[in-house]
Amino acid sequence: MVYETIAKTGIDPAQFNLEVEGKLLVTHNAGSTFEVVWGDNRRIYRIRSRHGRTLIIKAIVEDGLNKTCAVPGRFKYLLPLLQNWAVEVKQVTEAPDYWEEMKRGQALITDIQDDQDSENTPFTEDEQDEIAARLEDIKKNLTDRFELSNEQTERVEEKLDEAAQASKRMGRKDWLMLFGGTIFNLIVTDTVTPIVAQHIFTVTIHGLIHLFTGGSVPPQIPPQIIT
């Protein structure tokens, strides 16, 4: 049943190993783990169960999800969480170039911050409009590329609107740091998965980097579509 659930996500079940001695542990070849142990629901999480037991789940995805939760002690409550974990494992492992692009973008921000010749000058009105247009395009296309709830979409749009407004009052170096922090915050607050956050970050950096380096507009790199 575990392997059947994983297979529904489209990832090869052969990439996973299963251990069932004393606990349930599913391990992906890249290091991600899904661990299930029995807990006393009277002491942990206070989940009511006719079985008197609770399943304590620790789901970890390399470079992604890190979550601990609990469900009543029946397998039917476990399988949806296992499937969600496998989906994120699939997204992360099938997008290695995308992760590398994120790392290069972060390194570029650091280089700009450390460059003594790079000035923290205000954006011109045209540049402010360009930032707003870029972020607006991301908002419009985000739900076409990812399955987001209304709450997730509203939260992301709110943060992007705040970033657009910040460009009108902050220097470009300061704004770049603020934008990076905004995207990181979307991850740590579990608003969106790291894959979604990295999509926003990478597309924005590629589209606007000339505003910080003084260069010409770089060629557009198509964002990866996660299916």
pLDDT digits over 26-52, tens only? 999 988 999 988 765 444 444 444 445
State residue 226's pLDDT score: 35
* Percent share of the chain, pLDDT over 70: 75
Q: What is the CA radius of gyration of the chain?
A: 21
- Six token digits for residue 31: 């290091």
Q: Could you tell me if residue 31 is inside a domain? A: yes
Higher pLDDT, 64 or 226: 64
Integer Cα distance of 163 and 135 in angstroms: 9
Specify the pTM.
Answer: 0.52
The CA-atom distances, in angstroms, between 15 and each of 9, 99, 110, 172, 187 are 13, 20, 36, 44, 26
Quote the mean pLDDT of the chain.
79
What is the full DSSP assignment across 22-61? SSEEEEETTS-EEEEEEEETTTSTT---TTSEEEEEEEE-
Which of the pair, 75 or 135, is modelled with greater confidence? Answer: 135
User: What is the number of structural domains in the chain?
Assistant: 2
- Identify the weakest region by mean pLDDT among 39-43, 72-76, 163-167: 39-43
Q: Given this model, what pLDDT does residue 102 score? A: 57
Of 69-73, 150-154, 183-187, minimum mean pLDDT range: 69-73
Residue 20 has pLDDT above 80, yes or no: yes
- Pick the last residue of a domain from 36, 60, 93: 93
- Same domain as 32, residue 107: no
- Residues 108 and 206 reside in one and the same domain: yes
Strands 16-19 and 24-28: antiparallel
One domain for residues 79 and 131: no
Find the domain containing 209 and state its range. 96-213
Q: What is the mean pLDDT of residues 106-135?
A: 80
Do 108 and 205 sit in the same domain of this protein? yes
Identify the pLDDT of residue 118: 62
Q: Angle at the Cα of 163 (from 130 to 153), degrees rounded to 5?
A: 100
